[in-house]
């Protein structure tokens, strides 16, 4: 039977193996269009993206998992006006998909993409490729991809390259993305006297610690536009409760924080698009709190907060949080190819294979996750 994340299983959270097995049962990207109910889009709700001044829809489009431009195009045609992609997603194909969806509506949509590069030449090359793939002459927000600490925020060669791109009119604003070490990265942006970066894309959801919310608050008050990702805590499939799904409740939880300008849930198909945009303008209610409590309990054994706090204790420098993120892509998003491509980018000595000859794991998870079991599973599923 076909199943998407809006159709939940009575049995509760799917086991990790069955989540993988059931991964492709999404029924096709336009399934929601062809079937029953007509697409009812709520009126777009906008917030200002910090000092960029851009007014963007509170539910914006995370394109990372979207295989068809038509899904993006429906969103754009109904007013969603901010899309986030990256050079690396789908081996470069994701920017092309976004580019196809932007044809004829480029001026109505703000485009954010990313570069993982450090050297000037590589950054220039990345941006040229992105512009070509996106079919545009400018990127609205170019983000340094996946920062873990403050070092790259202040890297002079990177800044020189970015400043040049701005002079050339190829990039309007700069941002960073971060999954771990988030508070340090956000504070580095706040403390920067040059106010070089205007946007931060952060992992933020109902399971996030207070330290993240406080760092987001400091950044927002200093004019940084905050965009939230990982808003549904892994997108694990779990059982239904009431009219509002756990993923909708999670999205509402994020958007009730006025320091967040927008969330960018990943939307693969029409049914996920419908589910997420429906949240625009909805208040967060007590029932949502209850839904999230149940969802939080269900995902607790699986969901890594990517805080990186366990990593210092590992003598081999294993990138535990990144490996766990890959497992989340595999088990939560049911995107094994993406999981494996991110996993392959981890330096050999820092992957789960380093755990094979480790007699006893010295790393401890502050949230109680079984790290050795996770590393073992990563070695099996991702390598
Ligand atoms: S088992 Fe634990 S301590 Fe040993 S290498 Fe792996 S993560 Fe590090
Ligand atoms: S395993 Fe635990 S301590 Fe390590 S990054 Fe994940 S949540 Fe943080």
Can you give the pLDDT at residue 39?
67
Tokens 């790259």, residue located: 152
The residue among 88, 64, 87 whose CA lies nearest residue 344 is 88
Can you give the pLDDT at residue 38?
58
Ligand 1 atom nearest to 313, measured from its CA = 3
Q: Is 313 in the pocket of ligand 2 (CB under 6 A)?
A: no
What is the enclosing helix (H) or strand (E) of 68? none
Q: Are 338 and 291 in contact (CB under 8 A)?
A: no
- Taking the centre of ligand 2 as the mean of its atom positions, its distance from the CA of residue 180, in whole angstroms, is 10
Q: How many CA atoms lie within 13 A of 362 on its CB side?
A: 11
Pocket test for ligand 1, best of 372, 373, 378 (most atoms within 8 A of CB): 372
Can you give the pLDDT at residue 334?
87
Query: Mind listing the domains of the chain with CATH numbers?
Result: 16-297 (3.20.20.100), 311-381 (no CATH)
Can you give the pLDDT at residue 348?
85
Q: Whose CA is nearest to atom 5 of ligand 1?
A: 355
Looking at the CA of 354, name the nearest ligand. Answer: 1
Q: Whose CA is nearest to atom 2 of ligand 2?
A: 365
Name all contacts of 153-158 with Cβ < 8 Å and 24+ positions apart: 153/185, 153/188, 153/189, 153/192, 153/196, 153/197, 154/188, 154/192, 155/118, 157/118, 157/119, 157/120, 158/118, 158/123
Can you give the pLDDT at residue 236?
80
String of b and e for 363-373 (b: at least 16 CB within 10 Å)? Answer: bebeeebebee
- Is 312 exposed, middle or buried, given 0-12, 13-18 or 19+ CB atoms closer than 10 A? exposed
As a whole number of angstroms, the distance between CA 378 and CA 373 comes to 9
Chunked into runs of 10 residues, the chain (383 residues) has average pLDDT values of 40 35 34 52 96 98 95 96 92 93 98 96 97 98 95 96 98 96 96 97 95 97 98 76 84 98 96 94 94 91 91 96 94 89 92 94 96 96 92
Q: Is 209 in the pocket of ligand 2 (CB under 6 A)?
A: no
């Amino acid at each position: 039977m076909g199943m998407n994340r809006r159709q939940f299983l009575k049995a509760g959270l799917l086991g990790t193996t069955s989540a993988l097995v059931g991964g492709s049962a999404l029924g096709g990207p336009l399934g929601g269009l062809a079937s029953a109910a007509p697409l009812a889009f709520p009126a777009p709700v906008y917030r200002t993206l910090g000092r960029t001044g851009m007014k963007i829809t509170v539910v914006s489009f995370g394109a990372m998992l979207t295989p068809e431009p038509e899904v993006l195009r429906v969103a754009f045609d109904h007013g969603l006006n901010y899309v986030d992609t990256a050079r690396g997603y789908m081996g470069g194909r994701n920017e092309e998909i976004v580019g196809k969806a932007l044809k004829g509506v480029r001026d109505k949509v703000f485009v954010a993409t990313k570069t993982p590069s450090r050297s000037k030449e590589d950054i220039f090359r990345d941006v040229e490729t992105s512009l070509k793939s996106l079919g545009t002459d400018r990127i609205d927000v170019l983000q340094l991809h996946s920062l873990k600490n403050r070092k790259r925020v202040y890297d002079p060669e990177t800044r020189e390259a970015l400043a040049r791109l701005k002079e050339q009119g190829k990039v309007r604003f700069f941002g960073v993305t971060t999954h771990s070490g988030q508070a340090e990265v956000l504070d580095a942006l706040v403390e920067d006297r040059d106010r070089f970066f205007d946007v931060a894309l952060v992992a933020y959801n109902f399971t996030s610690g207070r330290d993240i919310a406080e760092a987001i608050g400091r950044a927002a008050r200093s004019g940084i536009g905050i965009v939230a990702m990982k808003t549904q805590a892994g997108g694990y499939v779990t059982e239904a409760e009431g009219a509002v799904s756990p993923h909708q409740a999670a999205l509402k939880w994020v958007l009730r924080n006025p320091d967040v300008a927008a969330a960018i849930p990943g939307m693969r198909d029409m049914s996920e698009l419908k589910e997420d945009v429906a949240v625009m303008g909805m208040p967060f209610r007590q029932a949502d709190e209850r839904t999230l409590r149940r969802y939080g309990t269900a995902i607790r054994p699986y969901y890594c907060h990517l805080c990186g706090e366990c990593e210092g204790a590992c003598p081999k420098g294993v990138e535990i949080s990144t490996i766990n993120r890959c497992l989340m892509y595999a088990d939560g998003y049911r995107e094994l190819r993406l999981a494996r491509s991110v996993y392959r980018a981890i330096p050999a000595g820092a992957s789960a294979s380093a755990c094979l000859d480790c007699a006893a794991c010295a790393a401890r998870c502050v949230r109680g996750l079984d790290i050795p079991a996770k590393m073992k599973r990563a070695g099996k599923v991702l390598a």
